[in-house]
Amino acid sequence: MGILVVGSVALDSVETPFGKVEEALGGSAVYIALAAAYFSAPVRLVAVVGGDFPRKEMKYLEKRNIDLDGLQVVEEGKTFRWGGRYHYDLNMRDTLYTELGAFEKFDPVIPPAYKKSSYICLGNIDPVLQKKVVQSIERPRLVIGDSMNYWIRNKPNELRETLKVMDVIILNDSETRQLTDEPNLIKGAKRIIGMGPRVVIIKKGEHGAVLVTNDVIFSAPAYPLENIQDPTGAGDVFAGGFIGWLAKTDDISVENLKRAVVYGNTMASFSVEKFSVEGLDDLTPLKIQDRFREFMKLTKFDEQ
Amino acid sequence: MGILVVGSVALDSVETPFGKVEEALGGSAVYIALAAAYFSAPVRLVAVVGGDFPRKEMKYLEKRNIDLDGLQVVEEGKTFRWGGRYHYDLNMRDTLYTELGAFEKFDPVIPPAYKKSSYICLGNIDPVLQKKVVQSIERPRLVIGDSMNYWIRNKPNELRETLKVMDVIILNDSETRQLTDEPNLIKGAKRIIGMGPRVVIIKKGEHGAVLVTNDVIFSAPAYPLENIQDPTGAGDVFAGGFIGWLAKTDDISVENLKRAVVYGNTMASFSVEKFSVEGLDDLTPLKIQDRFREFMKLTKFDEQ
């Protein structure tokens, strides 16, 4: 049992029409792990930071039930930093800078105690490293890979190899089109199923997510929030809620995958209401359950 | 009882990555009426064409249970023509030409027999004319107005006046933002409710539609089609299915409005599978019902 997450740990400076933060905790692995830990803790984190990574963030993650034995600290290196600015309607953003620091040479090392992890979530890193991580795990029950536009362009062959060891891939709509050269998303998803994963989840930002298998299509809208502060990390939080629910229930039937998608949307909806990871700060099982039920109401209609 | 539709009747030349048609039957009133007539016929059409409008299209509409007593034929004028080309993923299109012809001076005249119509659907025409139409009807039970990006920019004050006589307004996401200067769609929808309509429906193309009232938000995804040929008219067909179902059941409760949204999506999903109005050609109540049920499956999940 147990969830293992690999990805980035970063310090993000983000500006949206509603405010800004400087060097706030971020990174794919952080967002995934914080969301997943609400369901199934501790969550094992495999990532790298520099010697400049603030001790208070380290403590914060530990307090949040993130197991940091797999977090490499490169004392002479710097932590990954990203700066971005969102447009008016939050659907577009400009990257202002990317300083990879120690993340540039990241080589994930899996501590022996992690090798029995059942649920593996691969954040957006080099597909060669993603594959290496999967191969280090003894008998993973479910491998989920997150989206990777950069790698589709720059390491297409390596990505194809990694897809073969993924059970579930999470992409956004443009990545789906880019990976398959197919404008129709459903056709594209089915083409990706032919490459390895048996489940494709297409994230569509404010429009929600669609789960596609060979037999089933499930469409889950995003929560209609009136106050979105900062969309950073929403896709990773989605992945974290998704894998968290699956690990908690240890049930990977299609019906439970659908619930997991809604839990993913649920967690993402909390995350975007505040800056950085703050939206994941004070949740409770009851709050999560309540919003999950709101999602049920949101799409429910009867035949009369 | 009975549905009255006002809008354009056009000859469209459309090119998509999957083919093209020349001077095919189109226009907002045509799409709305053809979809609505599957639910509640005859549908009364108020529109204008030129003397060049093909007799065969006239006969086609009559055969489809469209009442043409309100169709003005300006013998010396030309029928509205529109040419457009869709991009790779069908989400964007370029208008190649717009020849208004007789539509430029369109002044809707409501035949006496139409004045008792209960369900009024206002296609995308000048808001001054839309208001005039509503005021010609004795006691409309429900007035639905379709989207109007052009008018938001060019006749904002007139549009505000017309909003006051609409019960339901259907807009797309960019029109909602444009009309309200509000990037958040839900906030925008609620602001529009403050302007008159008690129901706002935001169309999101391939992402479906959201219905917003002061108390309820209902989100309905689009049908995940693998083969979309031509999206022209999809929004109008949505409106036609929506008003058609409401007129058929004569029930404007919120629960029935939700069903109507799904019937709107259902009809739109058929329409985009073929060029021009051909996708609405050979439907049956059973085919429509079957796809409605597919929509139920598409979003259904349980709590476990």
Instruction: Report the pLDDT value the prediction gives residue B88, as an integer from 0 to 100.
Output: 85
What six digits make up the tokens of A147?
């989206």
Residue A132: left if φ>0, alpha if ψ -120 to 50, beta else—which one?
alpha
Is A272 at the interface with chain B, CB within 8 A? no
DSSP state of A210: E
| Calpha distance A123→A147 (Å, rounded) | 7
Strand pairing category for A209-212 and A10-16 = unpaired
**In Å, how far is A249's CA from the nearest CA of chain B?**
10
**Band of pLDDT at residue A205, cut at 50, 70 and 90:** confident
If you measure CA to CA, which chain B residue comes closest to A87?
A: B183
If you measure CA to CA, which chain A residue comes closest to B177?
A: A89
User: Across residues B130-143, what is the average pLDDT?
Assistant: 97
**In Å, how far is A259's CA from the nearest CA of chain B?**
6
Residue B304 lies in a domain: no
Between A89 and B106, whose confidence is greater?
A: B106
**C-alpha to C-alpha distances, B124 to A137, B9, B65, B144, B152, nearest whole angstrom:** 59, 11, 22, 11, 11
Q: Which residues of B touch A227 (CB under 8 A)?
A: 184
% of chain B beyond a pLDDT of 70:
100
User: Across residues A10-38, what is the average pLDDT?
Assistant: 97
Is A60 at the interface with chain B, CB within 8 A? no
Per residue in B62-94, pLDDT tens?
Answer: 999 999 999 999 999 999 999 999 998 888 899
Strand pairing category for B43-50 and B80-86 = unpaired
Angle between helices A254-271 and A234-249 (to 10 degrees): 140
Instruction: Report the pLDDT value the prediction gives residue A149, as an integer from 0 to 100.
Output: 83
Contacts of B105 (CB under 8 A, 6+ apart): none
Residue B176 lies in a domain: yes
Burial of A175 (0-12, 13-18, 19+ CB in 10 A): buried
**In Å, how far is A263's CA from the nearest CA of chain B?**
11
Query: Where do we find the tokens 């309509």?
Result: B197
Instruction: Determine whether the interchain pair A292/B303 forms a contact, defined as Cβ–Cβ distance below 8 Å.
Output: yes
Of A17, A184, A217, the CB nearest to B298: A217
Predicted confidence (pLDDT) at residue A1 exceeds the cutoff of 80: no
Predicted confidence (pLDDT) at residue A137 exceeds the cutoff of 80: yes
**Band of pLDDT at residue A132, cut at 50, 70 and 90:** very high
Contact yes or no for B194/B227 (Cβ under 8 A):
no
Predicted confidence (pLDDT) at residue B148 exceeds the cutoff of 80: no
Which of B207, B246, B293 is the best substitution to test chain A (most A C-beta atoms within 10 A)?
A: B207
**Band of pLDDT at residue A90, cut at 50, 70 and 90:** confident
Instruction: Determine whether the interchain pair A218/B298 forms a contact, defined as Cβ–Cβ distance below 8 Å.
Output: yes
Residue A98 lies in a domain: yes
Is B210 at the interface with chain A, CB within 8 A? yes
Predicted confidence (pLDDT) at residue B262 exceeds the cutoff of 90: yes
Instruction: Determine whether the interchain pair B301/A224 forms a contact, defined as Cβ–Cβ distance below 8 Å.
Output: no
User: Across residues B155-169, what is the average pLDDT?
Assistant: 96
Instruction: Report the pLDDT value the prediction gives residue A104, as an integer from 0 to 100.
Output: 96
Q: Is the pTM of this model over 0.90?
A: yes
Instruction: Report the pLDDT value the prediction gives residue A126, as an integer from 0 to 100.
Output: 95
**Band of pLDDT at residue B283, cut at 50, 70 and 90:** very high
Predicted confidence (pLDDT) at residue A175 exceeds the cutoff of 80: yes
% of chain A beyond a pLDDT of 70:
100
Is B185 at the interface with chain A, CB within 8 A? yes
What six digits make up the tokens of A253?
């039937």
Coil, helix or strand at residue B12: strand
Residue A207 lies in a domain: yes
Q: C-alpha B8: how far from its chain's center?
A: 11
User: What CATH number is associated with residue B33?
Assistant: 3.40.1190.20
User: Across residues A13-18, what is the average pLDDT?
Assistant: 95
If you measure CA to CA, which chain B residue comes closest to A249?
A: B304
Predicted confidence (pLDDT) at residue B304 exceeds the cutoff of 80: no
Angle between helices A28-36 and A234-249 (to 10 degrees): 40
User: Across residues A261-280, what is the average pLDDT?
Assistant: 97
Overall size of chain A counted in residues: 304
User: Across residues A259-272, what is the average pLDDT?
Assistant: 97
Quote the ipTM score. 0.90
The span from the first CA to the last CA of chain A, in angstroms, equals 44
Q: C-alpha A125: how far from its chain's center?
A: 12
| Calpha distance A235→A164 (Å, rounded) | 22
Of B88, B207, B302, the CB nearest to A207: B207
What sections of chain A are H helices per DSSP? 28-36, 55-63, 127-136, 149-154, 156-163, 173-180, 185-193, 234-249, 254-271, 285-299
Interface of A with B in 141-160 (CB under 8 A): none
**In Å, how far is A283's CA from the nearest CA of chain B?**
19
CA angle A234-A236-A239, nearest 5°? 115
Instruction: Report the pLDDT value the prediction gives residue A216, as an integer from 0 to 100.
Output: 96
Tally of structural domains, chain A: 1
Mean pLDDT rounded to a whole number for chain A? 95
Mean pLDDT rounded to a whole number for chain B? 95
Residue A304 lies in a domain: no
Residue A106, domain extent: 3-299
Contact yes or no for B224/A217 (Cβ under 8 A):
yes
Instruction: Report the pLDDT value the prediction gives residue B149, as an integer from 0 to 100.
Output: 83
Nearest to B180 by CA among A88, A231, A204, A85: A88
What six digits make up the tokens of B20?
């093209």
User: Across residues B266-285, what is the average pLDDT?
Assistant: 96
Is A177 at the interface with chain B, CB within 8 A? yes
Per residue in B177-232, pLDDT tens?
Answer: 999 999 899 999 999 999 999 999 999 988 899 999 999 999 999 999 999 999 99
| Calpha distance A126→A152 (Å, rounded) | 10
Per residue in A42-51, pLDDT tens?
Answer: 999 999 999 9
Of A183, A228, A293, the CB nearest to B90: A183
If you measure CA to CA, which chain A residue comes closest to B263?
A: A303
What six digits make up the tokens of B209?
């539609």
Task: List beta partners, residue A46.
Answer: A6
| Calpha distance A174→A191 (Å, rounded) | 15
Query: Where do we find the tokens 């989920």?
Result: A144
Instruction: Report the pLDDT value the prediction gives residue A88, as an integer from 0 to 100.
Output: 85
Per residue in A48-65, pLDDT tens?
Answer: 999 999 999 999 999 999
Query: Where do we find the tokens 């409605």?
Result: B292
**In Å, how far is A73's CA from the nearest CA of chain B?**
40
